Structure 1
Amino acid sequence: MKETTVVNMLSALAQETRLSLFRLLVKAGRAGLNAGTLAEKLKTPNSTLSYHLSALEQAGLISSERRQRQIIYTANYAKLEKFLGFLVEDCCQGSGEICLSVEQTTRKIKGKK
């Protein structure tokens, strides 16, 4: 992953509403959430939500997909895995308990145990 990509991702997450939005989508899993549900949970107007969703989508952190009559937003788990991997790539020079917990976290993201 390129550093400029990581900087863009960090920049997108460096705003309270977007961070909360992203965390909600990560929590929702692959089922994702529609904009109405996200707006309700965050108590955010639709126009504001749209702006934040766009910023996260441009950074590659989330994606949207039309399902019947709704647009469903989901976290981009493949990018999230690469993002976290980049951040901890040389953690403790590959040894120690910290690196193990990071590895376990990325396995959870992949859906493995």
Structure 2
Amino acid sequence: MEKNNAKAKLHIRKGDTVKVLAGDDRGKTGKVLEVVREKSRAIVEGINIVTKHTKPSAGKPEGGIKKTEAGVHISNLQLVDPATGKTTRVGRKLDSKGKLQRYSKKTGEIIK
């Protein structure tokens, strides 16, 4: 785990398009809906669908079965370069203002 409560630097962010590298959904692409830094997981649209059964209650009398996305570990995802549409590794470099920017290791272009 991280020391001194430091947050992990992740190569993907909310809104990125990613490709799944491992698991039942290998090869599929989707948009990142949420990133859970504490668990190094991301929730990706249409990937890792799980079925949840809800018992009828006073608040929700119908109950039923609901399908939702579950988290996928970050190591099983790779960023799809918005410029080329192909997967790429992500690097970080300082821009002219001294701010860290993500860039594509294949093309060298800044991402977002």
| Same fold at TM > 0.5 | no
Structure ranking higher on relative contact order (CA contacts 8 Å, 6+ apart) = 1
| TM, length-normalised to structure 2 | 0.27
| TM, length-normalised to structure 1 | 0.27
| Higher helix proportion (structure 1 or 2) | 1
| Higher strand proportion (structure 1 or 2) | 2
